[in-house]
């Protein structure tokens, strides 16, 4: 009896093992490589048609590779990536704060793949752009798209205030004159960003750069928000607009979303923002279509730089299929998709060889942004602690200064000291 | 007396024989018992004990991304030396004290109201429980827009009835933001306390109130000498559970303020999150987690002690 049962069990086990082995063989033979792809903007409506079309085209061209988008809200993007990285399960393809991620060992160096590509292809990116994609001399991502910061005006409100929309402000003095004219009951010239995200820092930097200021010394070892007189002067001028009543109330709760909503609802007449804000404002208020003016941020020095955010696609350190991932990066960086991203989603092309493409040249708004972006400083800044200070310490300083306007200098001196301590401690 | 009745009630088998005959069976049953609880025990170890040990171990390491080094209690020293930790502890304790006091006061009032109400009792109970049924993240998002300074309904209504002369940045100024967060947590937390106290109120015999009424006791005296003493245990248990719930509150703050402005609403769980995922200091974040756990455990021990004392009193 016992022998019969043992024989029967052995038979079943053997059969199952054989079936399993056969299944596994068949699965391995047919199973495509699946690459997870996580960027902060996959959930944004304006980008959806472009990335869906691009993924379908890539999969059709590469039948052995399947792209699995990881949809995550912008707010939770970094948290999810870090958690997955700590578990060694990060998506193969990611767009994250490159320096911080590379410093923490979450990304793979891409030099061998990059160097194996033809020189003509590599030359499509300027040296300055590629410098921002490197950490300690190694390449950790390929810059795909960006955002160029400029001043965006509501033409109707400008005209209604008796100002000439063809001659937007060039200097701070011009801007303050406009601000006075554009502020009236229930309407303000602009919004100061002071909410708890790094957009607060981005706009602050554009003001500092427009005055020739810097926030770090040349070798990035010392913060100079207050130490550099040009920087401090710019901070005072920008935040001073809240005290003067030119900026919408409650700046400490104003982020990108609140700013664009106020702009779409004609509550503010101008906003310091990147090209993607136009798509958002026009979607919220279609009546704004064709009624926006884009101009360089008012500045105090000739040829003042603005700020250009850079989004690169990287490969996670533990990616088991880096060759397949590199294929996708090359596909994503192709001129065709760069132009589509710019035309449909307002993500600005980073490749410097696209300015003469007919589709770009035929779009005056795009061309204006590209022209403004010719002299721009890359963002985020190449510091491993940048994400922390940009969304934390600098925002806290802006909030403190907004709540107690007489303490601006002290607050930013304290900020310099705090950042310097962190720089030494990293 | 007891011995006699015990021996009388025993069946015919002598104790020694019974013991001798069943000892191997009992041993086997004991092991069966362990086997039955083993899956639950292993599951609890996997989801509670292992993460706790891992969190404590992480608190002894300095993390730089995927690389770690053992630093002993250095993370604790850094946390305890930081101004942010003491600010967060102060915010956490004041937030918890205020919220729990208001949960109990308002919860008791509503429970008494619901206990007395005759008509539409079920509808009212469901209505009062609604905030508790809504997921905190969703409720907080709704409140975020209600409190929005430009378009929010709160500013509009307060302004319409003359409570404020200009629109307020409810989440933009430290004291207002703290008050707003407390208000939202009170909205969310009152139903839980109300439910516990309502259950307590329904255990008080009606005869006590009738007798007090005959003796001429006023409603206030009835509350002071009948309701409160009878509810004492329920109030203490509800408060302790509520402290444990409130001190680890994260969702409302994460959605509405992220701990700002200038740290005014940065409770310990928010500081932990910001330390881990903004500053990428997992070791220090784990140390904050361990310190928070000790704080919560202190109240948990108090709760267990209270329920045990009450159970012993009840069994006497």
Q: Are residues A224 and A176 in the same domain?
A: yes
Residue of higher predicted confidence among A21 and B142: B142
Among B62, B63, B65, B175, pick the best mutation site for testing chain A contact (most A Cβ within 10 A): B65
Burial of B37 (0-12, 13-18, 19+ CB in 10 A): exposed
Residues A194 and B174: beta-carbon distance below 8 Å = no
The answer as to whether A23 is a domain residue is: no
- CATH of residue A159: 3.40.190.10
pLDDT greater at residue A83 or residue A6: A83
Residues A158 and A240 in one domain: yes
Cβ pair A106:B66 closer than 8 A: yes
- Identify the closest residue of chain B to A267 by CA–CA distance: B150
Chain B touched by A414 (CB under 8 Å)? no
Q: Is pLDDT above 60 for A362?
A: yes
Residue A422 to chain B, least CA–CA distance (Å): 10
Q: How confident is the model at residue A358 (pLDDT cuts 50, 70, 90)?
A: confident
Rg (CA), chain A: 25
Locate the chain A residue with the closest alpha carbon to B68: A104
> Taking residues A102-128, what's their average pLDDT?
93
Predicted confidence at residue A25, as pLDDT, reads 43
Give yes or no: residues A314 and A349 share one domain. Answer: yes
* Confidence band for A370, pLDDT divided at 50, 70 and 90: confident
Question: What per-residue confidence (pLDDT) applies to B59?
Answer: 95
Question: With 60 as the cut, is the pLDDT of residue A257 above it?
Answer: yes
| pLDDT at residue B151, as a whole number | 83
**Residues A93 and A178 grouped into a single domain:** no
Percent of chain A past pLDDT 70, that is, above it, reads: 93
Cα–Cα distances in angstroms (integers) from residue B259 to residues A41, A215, A259, B267, in the given order = 25, 25, 21, 7
Q: Nearest residue of A to residue B280 by CA position?
A: A388
Q: Is A355 exposed, middle or buried (0-12, 13-18, 19+ CB in 10 A)?
A: middle
> For A141-164, what is the mean pLDDT?
95
Confidence of residue A111 (pLDDT cuts 50, 70, 90): very high
Closest to A37 measured CA to CA, from A69, A1, A74: A69
Asked if A201 and A247 sit in the same domain, the reply is yes
Q: Give residue B24's pLDDT.
A: 62
Q: How do residues B263-311 score in pLDDT, each as one tens digit?
A: 999 999 999 999 999 888 999 999 999 999 999 888 888 888 877 777 6
Is residue A285 domain-resident?
Answer: yes
> Pick the residue with more confidence: B17 or A134?
A134
- Across the interface, which of A88, A250, A385 has its CB nearest the CB of B169? A250
pLDDT tens for residues B48-80?
999 999 999 999 999 888 888 999 999 999 999
How would residue A345 be classed by pLDDT, with cut points 50, 70 and 90?
confident
In a domain, A223, yes or no: yes
- Confirm whether A376 is domain-assigned: no
Are residues A303 and A409 located together in one domain of the fold? yes
A250 → closest Cβ in B65, B172, B278: B172
pLDDT at A52 over 90: yes
> In this structure, are A63 and A163 located in the same domain?
no
Verify whether the Cβ–Cβ distance A82 to B172 is below 8 Å: no
Q: Tell me if A27 is assigned to some domain.
A: no
Interface touch B262/A403, C-beta < 8 Å: yes
Assess A86–B contact: CB distance below 8 Å, yes or no: yes
A218 lies in some domain: yes
A272 and A300 in a single domain? The answer is yes
Closest listed residue to residue B241, CA positions, set B290, B187, B286, B194: B194
Percent of chain B with pLDDT over 70: 90
- In this structure, the answer to whether residues A179 and A229 fall within a common structural domain is yes
Q: Does residue A32 sit at the B interface (CB-CB below 8 Å)?
A: no
Chain B neighbors of A392, CB-CB under 8 A: 274, 278-279
A257 and A350 together in one domain: no
d(CA B251, CA B259): 11
Mean pLDDT (whole number) for A213-242: 96
Q: Which of B171, B262, B279 sits opposite A253 (nearest CB)?
A: B171
**How far is the alpha carbon of B161 from chain A, nearest alpha carbon, in Å?**
20
Candidates B269, B245, B116; CA nearest to B190 is: B245
Q: Does A136 touch chain B (CB under 8 A)?
A: no
Give residue A44's pLDDT: 82
Of the listed ranges A36-40, A236-240, B28-32, B276-280, the least confidently predicted one is: B28-32
Reported as a single tens digit per residue, the pLDDT across B210-264 is 999 999 999 999 999 999 999 988 998 899 889 989 998 999 999 999 898 999 9
Of the pLDDT bands very low, low, confident and very high (cuts 50, 70, 90), residue A410 is very high
Q: Do residue A82 and residue B258 have CB atoms under 8 angstroms apart? A: no
**What token pair was written down for A334?**
């192709």
**Which of B167, B172, B277 is facing A82, going by the closest CB pair?**
B277
Give me the domain span that covers residue A405.
150-307+382-425
CA nearest to A67, candidates A255, A280, A307, A328: A328
pLDDT tier at A119 (50, 70, 90 boundaries)? very high
Cβ contact (<8 Å) for A196 and B261?
yes
Contacts of A395 in chain B (CB under 8 A): 260
> How many residue pairs from chains A and B have C-beta atoms closer than 8 A?
80
Q: Does B125 score more than 70 pLDDT?
A: yes
What does the pLDDT average to over A93-104?
93
pLDDT value, residue B118 = 78
Which single residue is written with the structure tokens 């990335």? A51
Q: Is the pLDDT of residue A404 over 80?
A: yes
Calpha distance A309→B8 (Å, rounded): 90
pLDDT of residue B9 exceeding 50? no
Over 90: is that where the pLDDT of B3 sits?
A: no
Q: Please name the residues in contact with A94: beta carbons below 8 A apart, sequence gap of 6 or more.
A: A37, A38, A39, A81, A101, A107, A313, A314, A315, A316
For the segment B173-192, what is each residue's pLDDT rounded down to a tens digit?
999 999 999 999 999 999 99
Question: How much is the pLDDT for A27?
Answer: 43
Chain B interface includes A397 (CB < 8 A): no
CA distance linking residue A311 with residue A144, whole number of Å: 6
Chain A residues in contact with B151 (beta carbon < 8 A): 261, 265
pLDDT digit string (tens) for A5-14? 455 445 555 5
Give yes or no for residue B100 having a pLDDT over 60: yes
CB A344 within 8 A of CB A46: yes
Domains of chain B, each with CATH number or no CATH: 82-315 (1.10.3720.10)
- Using an 8 Å CB-CB cutoff, list chain B residues near A103: 64-65
Statement to judge: residues A37 and A171 lie in one domain:
no
Domain-embedded: residue A241: yes
pLDDT of residue B92 exceeding 90, the answer is yes
H runs (alpha helix) in chain B: 2-9, 15-44, 50-58, 74-81, 83-116, 121-133, 136-146, 153-160, 174-201, 206-214, 219-222, 228-247, 251-256, 268-273, 282-315
- Interface probe for B, chosen from A102, A107, A252 (most Cβ of B below 10 Å), is A252
Q: Is residue A370 part of a domain?
A: no
Lowest mean pLDDT among A6-15, A297-306, B58-67, B90-99: A6-15
pLDDT at B18 over 60: no
CA distance A253 to chain B (A): 5
3-state secondary structure of A143: strand
Q: Do A176 and A66 fall within a single domain? A: no
Tell me the C-alpha distance between A338 and A344, whole Å. 10
Domain count, chain A: 2
- In the numeric block, the tokens 């005209």 are attached to A159
**Nearest-5° angle of CA A399, CA A405, CA A407?**
90
Q: What's the mean pLDDT when you consider all of chain A?
A: 90
Strand partners, A188: A268
Residue numbers in B near A403 (CB within 8 A): 173-174, 261-262
The tokens of A340 are what? Answer: 């589509």
Cβ separation A252–B67 shorter than 8 A: no
Confirm whether the ipTM is greater than 0.90: no
Q: What is the mean pLDDT of chain B?
A: 87
């Amino acid at each position: 009896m016992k022998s019969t049962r043992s024989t029967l069990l052995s038979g079943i086990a053997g059969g199952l093992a054989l079936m399993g082995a056969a299944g596994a063989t068949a699965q391995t033979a047919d199973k495509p490589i699946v690459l997870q792809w996580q960027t902060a903007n996959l959930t944004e409506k304006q980008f959806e048609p472009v990335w869906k079309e691009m993924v379908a085209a890539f999969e059709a061209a590469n039948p052995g590779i399947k792209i699995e988008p990881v949809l995550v809200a912008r707010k939770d993007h970094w948290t999810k990536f870090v958690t997955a990285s700590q578990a060694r399960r990060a998506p193969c393809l990611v767009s994250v704060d490159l320096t911080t991620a590379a410093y923490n060992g979450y990304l793979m160096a891409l030099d061998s793949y990059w160097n194996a590509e033809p020189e003509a292809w590599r030359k499509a990116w300027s040296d300055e752009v590629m410098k921002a994609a490197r950490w300690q001399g190694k390449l950790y991502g390929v810059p795909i798209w960006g955002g160029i910061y400029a001043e965006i005006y509501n033409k109707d409100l400008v005209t209604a205030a008796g100002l000439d929309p063809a001659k937007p402000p060039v200097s701070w003095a011009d801007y303050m004159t406009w601000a006075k004219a554009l502020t009236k009951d229930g309407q303000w010239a602009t919004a100061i960003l002071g909410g708890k995200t790094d957009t607060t820092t981005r706009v602050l930097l554009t003001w500092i750069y427009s005055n020739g200021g810097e926030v770090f010394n040349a070798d990035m070892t010392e913060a100079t928000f207050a130490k550099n007189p040009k920087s401090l002067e710019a901070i005072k001028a920008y935040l001073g607009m809240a005290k003067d009543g030119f900026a919408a109330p409650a700046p400490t709760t104003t982020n990108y979303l609140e700013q664009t909503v106020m702009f779409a609802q004609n509550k503010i007449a101008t906003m310091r923002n990147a090209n993607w804000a136009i798509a958002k404002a026009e979607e919220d208020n279609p009546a704004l279509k064709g009624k926006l003016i884009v101009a360089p941020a008012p500045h105090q020095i000739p040829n003042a730089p603005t700020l250009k955010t850079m989004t690169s696609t990287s490969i996670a350190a533990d990616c088991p299929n880096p060759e397949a991932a590199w294929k996708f990066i090359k596909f994503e960086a192709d001129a065709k998709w760069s132009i589509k991203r710019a035309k449909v989603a307002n993500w600005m092309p980073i490749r410097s060889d696209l300015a003469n493409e007919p589709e770009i040249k035929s779009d005056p708004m795009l061309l204006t942004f590209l022209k403004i972006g010719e002299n721009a400083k890359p963002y985020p800044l190449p510091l491993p602690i940048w994400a922390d200070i940009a969304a934390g310490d600098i925002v806290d300083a802006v909030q403190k200064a907004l709540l107690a306007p007489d303490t601006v200098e002290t607050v930013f001196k304290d900020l310099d000291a705090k950042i310097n301590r962190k720089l030494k401690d990293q | 007396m007891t011995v006699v009745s015990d021996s009388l009630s025993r069946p015919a088998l002598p104790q020694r024989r019974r013991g001798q005959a069943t000892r191997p069976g009992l041993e086997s049953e004991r092991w069966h018992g362990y086997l039955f609880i083993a899956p639950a025990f292993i599951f609890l170890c996997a989801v509670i004990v292992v993460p706790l040990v891992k969190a404590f171990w992480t608190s002894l390491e300095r993390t730089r991304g995927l690389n770690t080094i053992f630093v002993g209690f250095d993370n604790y020293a850094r946390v305890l030396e930081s101004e942010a930790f003491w600010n967060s502890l102060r915010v956490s304790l004041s937030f918890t004290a205020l919220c729990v006091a208001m949960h109990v006061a308002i919860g008791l009032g509503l429970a008494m109201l619901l206990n007395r109400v005759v008509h539409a009792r079920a509808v009212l109970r469901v209505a009062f429980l609604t905030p508790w049924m809504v997921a905190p993240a969703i409720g907080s998002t709704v409140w975020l827009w209600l409190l929005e300074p430009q378009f929010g309904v709160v500013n509009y209504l307060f302004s319409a009835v003359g409570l404020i002369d200009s629109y307020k940045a409810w989440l933009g100024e430290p004291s207002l933001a703290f008050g707003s967060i407390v208000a939202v947590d009170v909205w969310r937390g009152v139903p839980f306390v109300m439910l516990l106290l309502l259950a307590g109120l329904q255990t008080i015999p009606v005869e006590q109130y009738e007798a007090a009424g005959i003796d001429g006791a006023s409603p206030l005296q009835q509350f002071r000498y009948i309701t409160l003493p009878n509810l004492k245990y329920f109030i203490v248990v509800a408060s302790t559970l509520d402290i444990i719930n409130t001190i680890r509150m994260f969702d409302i703050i994460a959605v509405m303020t992220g701990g700002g402005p200038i740290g005014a609403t940065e409770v310990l769980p928010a500081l932990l999150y910001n330390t881990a995922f903004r500053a990428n200091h997992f070791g220090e974040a784990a140390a904050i987690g361990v310190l928070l756990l000790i704080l919560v455990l202190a109240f948990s021990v108090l709760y267990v002690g209270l329920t045990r004392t009450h159970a012993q009193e009840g069994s006497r």
